[in-house]
Structures are given as C-alpha cells and as structure tokens.
Chains A and B, each alone.
Chain A
Amino acid sequence: MHRNWITFLRIVRTGVINFFRNASLAVAAMAVMVVTLTIILLSLVVNTTLSGTIKQITDKIDVSVYLKDEVTTKQQRDFTQRLEALPNVSSTRYLSKDEALEAYRQENIGNQELLQAINQTDNPLPATIRVKPKDLDRVKEIQMFLNKTENKKLQSEEPSYSGDRKEAIDKISHAANVLQRVGIAGIALFAIISVLIIFNTIQMAIFNRRDEISIMRLLGANTWYIRGPFVVEAVIYGVVSGLISIGLIKALFIASSSTLEASSLGLLDIGYAERYFNNHFWILLLIQVGIGVVIGATSSIVATRRYLKFKTTKK
C-alpha cells in the first residue's frame, strides 16, 4: 500500500513537471480546449435561455370563455369543473362581471377615453372563465369542447384564443425550435472537430516523446507508471481550460451587461441568461472541468496505447 502511494505521488509529480516543461505544447492544446469548452457552455446557456423565454411567453397565453349573463352560479361551477377535467387544461380562473370589468380597466389603464366610455354604460363585459392550456399545440381539443351545443349555449360569444398573439408566439417558438436544433447540430459538429484537434495535439506531444516511452518500457516500467504522467498532464489541460472558459463567459456577461444595458437581444434574454449562469455557476464549472478532464484523459490514454504495446508477433 505504501509503495502504491509512493508510485501514485510520483506519477502525479512527473505529470505536473512535464506540464511545465512542455509549456508551448500545453498552450496549444489548451487554446483549442478553451474554445471548445466556451462554445459548449455558451450554447448550453443560450439553449436554456431560449426555452426559458419561450416558456415565459407561452405561460401568458390563455383561452377566454365568455358566459351569458343568465348563466347561474351552479351552471358556471359545473361548466368550470368539466373544463378542468379536460386533459389539456392546466388551470382555470373565473372572473365575475365586476372582476372582468376591473381586469379590463387594469389592462387599458393608459387609455382614458376607452375607460370613460366604459364608465358611461352599464358593465358591458361578460363573466369570463380564463382557461390556461397545458400544450398550446393542442388548443383545438379545448376549442372542440367549447363548440359542443350544450356548452355553446352557455356562452355569450365566441371564445377568444388570444388569436393573433398565439400566431406570433407560434412563429417565435417555431423559430426558437429551429434555432435550437441548428445550434445543437452545429455545436455537436464543432465539439467533434475540436476533440479531434485536441486529440491530435496530445498525440503529437506523445509522438515526440515516444523514445522516452520505449526507454521506460525497456527499464521495466509498468504501463500506468509510463502512461500516468501523460494522463495527469492532459487532465491539467482540462482543468485549466475549464477554468479559463468559465472565466471568459463570466467576463462576457459582465461586459455585456455594462455595455449593452439592454435586458434582451431579440429572443435572447441576457438578464435571464446571466441569472441562470450565476445560479448554476458551480455546477457549470464542474461540467466544464469535467468535459475537459474527460477529453484530455481519453486522448492521452488512446495516444499512449500504441507505444506501450509489447511485441506480440514472432516475425
């Protein structure tokens, strides 16, 4: 046990020393790694922000069902219950005539003329049930339910589906979906390319030291005694690159919030992104360093393999 511990410490120590002795190569490998990790992290944040924004918007959408004035409380309760039983309904809210008027006033608080006009008449607004759907794409199910004759006769007019709003939201969410998919594909492609570059860089480093490896082999060093320091070195690349990339993004947020001052760039709510980034800082850091370590360790293990093989052929 004691001996294993000594060996382990030696492997780590040699790896650290090699890291500093091969500084130029380390810089090259880490530069590629930083770019990769930064793009992966950025895409993660952008993705989360996009879905967050879309969810925020879609949460505001509801279907308003207008009731005739003569509908009794019992009828209304019964109707609401049946609505809530629908699979695609997430919640309902009942507004009496007075409440509907109050809500209308609140919504049009800037429009004095309209408010005055409303005040001069009896309350023209019907009692309303606001229905929040679970899935916007399945609003039709609610629509069909409302169009049934027994339900239709309770309603004073056609329900409102937040008509044009929904259409706009549909377009936005479709665009965001496409954007996300294109983004994921692009990032996957980029990640693969940079993993290959990192792999090649590390492989080149090891190629340069293949004589060293074969000497160690001839002196009777174990596979892991030789490979260990290379892995340690590559793991350091991963850790340092992870830290740099998360630092870069942190700096990017600080810079963007002070220069842009805007809270959003079109669909991309920078404030949301920054909050997400700050709230998940440690887990993101862990992911970054983790990815870096895995890429580094795997490439060095694979790259050392061929120089560590023993001759097996008899020719």
Chain B
Amino acid sequence: MILLDRVTKVYGKSPTPALDRISLHVEPKEFVIVVGQSGAGKSTLLKLLTREERQTSGKIIIGGIDYDKLKDKNIPLLRRKIGVVFQDFKLLPNRTVFENVAFALEIVGMSNHEIKHTVPKVLDIVNLKGKENSMPRELSGGERQRVAIARAIVRQPKILIADEPTGNLDPKHAWDVIAVLEKINRFGTTVLLTTHNQEIVNKLKRRVVTIQHGKIASDRAHASYKL
C-alpha cells in the first residue's frame, strides 16, 4: 500500500538531510505508528506522502501510484484517495463544521442529497452531533481535531494519515480519537499515525517505526515506545 525506497529529502541547501535513505513498506490494512522527537523527520515524511513536498531522491509508490510519474494535474486525484488529519487541523475558517466535512465530498462532485446523508453519520462517529452549524473558532481544540478526523474519513479513503491527532487532547478525548482510528482500520483502511504519546503507543500494541535524525532507528511489530 505504501512503499518507500531509500527516500531522501534535503531542504534547500541544508547540509543535513531531513530524511536520509528511508525505506518503509506498509501492507494494506496495516496500522503503523511513527514515533520520533520533534525535528526527527516525521512531518517531512508525511509531507512527502501527500506530495506537499518532493523527495530529493528515492522512490515513493502509494496505492500503485509512482510519485515520480505523477503529473501535476493528477495530484488532486491522489490526495482524494488519502485521508489526512493535520496536526494543525487545517479547517476552513469561514465554514461551519458541516461545510468543512462536506467540502471533502463536494470536491469529488457528490450530490447534495448524498452529502446531507453522509456527513451527519460521520459527525456522529466522531461525537460531534449538534455542532453542525458551529464555526471552527467556536470549538475547543479537541472538537476541531475531531472535525478534522471526520473530514479525513468521510471519503472512506484507503489510506489515513494522522499527524499527532491526539496532541491537543485530554486523555479521555485522546482515547476517543484513537478508538475512531482503530475502528476505521478494522473497516479496512491503512492507518499511519504519528504521535508523542507513550501511553497510546504502549496500549495499542501495533507496529512502531521510530525515526531519529532522519533515519529509521527501529521498526518493530507490537512494539512499545522506547526513546
């Protein structure tokens, strides 16, 4: 599902690469946790996957799409196949909760009827019933986080990338979010989660990939957090 082969990313004229010959293979329906300190290269890795940045060298193939052969005009199509929960939410500030989630469906040309049917269901999954007409600025951090998750999963993507989705949440809400991710994973979505939260890593008992100084320091199944 996700294949990285000796991927290196160097920003500008920086002497040290942000990512240094990373190789990673993620099977369909797998749940992978990526851990690492700030600046280790996690964010760069995710930006390469969403094609926000281009790798300096190496190969990236996701869902059969070779990023080197991907034309600009097809980038939107790629991004529609990947759900992303951004660390800073990236909600549209001038749109309501409902409209934010609906936007993901609007851009693929779904009819209003289908959207009205689908969005409430997803908002229900992330426990945001009743907040449909709120604007993002009226919500707490946790609620915004869950809007972002709802938006990422509403298209039922094959791959879900969640960048620190529990970063701003208290433990109870953090576990709610993790529960949603696990649920989506059970339905067949490949999940790539980055987190700092040791407790979550330890309890999930999933494959853990540790990134240090732009390199993969360890890659273990059912691992716990060690840094």
Contact = CB atoms under 8 A, between A and B. Distances in A.
Interface string A291-313: 00000000000000000001111
B111 interface: yes
A6 B72 contact: no
Contact of B79 (A21, A219, A223, A313): A219
B93 A212 contact: yes
Contacts of B104: 219-220
B79 A216 contact: no
A216 B103 contact: yes
Contacts, number: 69
A290 B148 CA distance: 41
Nearest to A3: B109
Contacts of B107: 216, 219-222, 225
A6 B84 contact: no
B55 A314 contact: yes
B10 A10 contact: no
A315 B11 contact: yes
Q: What's the dominant secondary structure at chain A's contact region? A: helix
Contacts of B79: 217-220
Contacts of B92: 212, 215-216
B141 to A, nearest CB: 18
4 closest A-B pairs by CB = A220-B79, A220-B80, A3-B109, A221-B107
Interface of A: 3-4, 6-7, 10, 21, 211-212, 215-223, 225, 310-315
Interface of B: 10-13, 50-57, 72-73, 75-80, 84, 86, 90-94, 103-104, 106-109, 111-112, 151
26 contacts: A3-B109, A4-B109, A6-B111, A7-B109, A211-B93, A215-B91, A215-B92, A216-B103, A216-B107, A218-B50, A219-B80, A219-B103, A219-B151, A220-B75, A220-B76, A220-B78, A220-B79, A221-B103, A221-B107, A222-B76, A222-B107, A223-B73, A310-B75, A311-B51, A314-B56, A314-B57
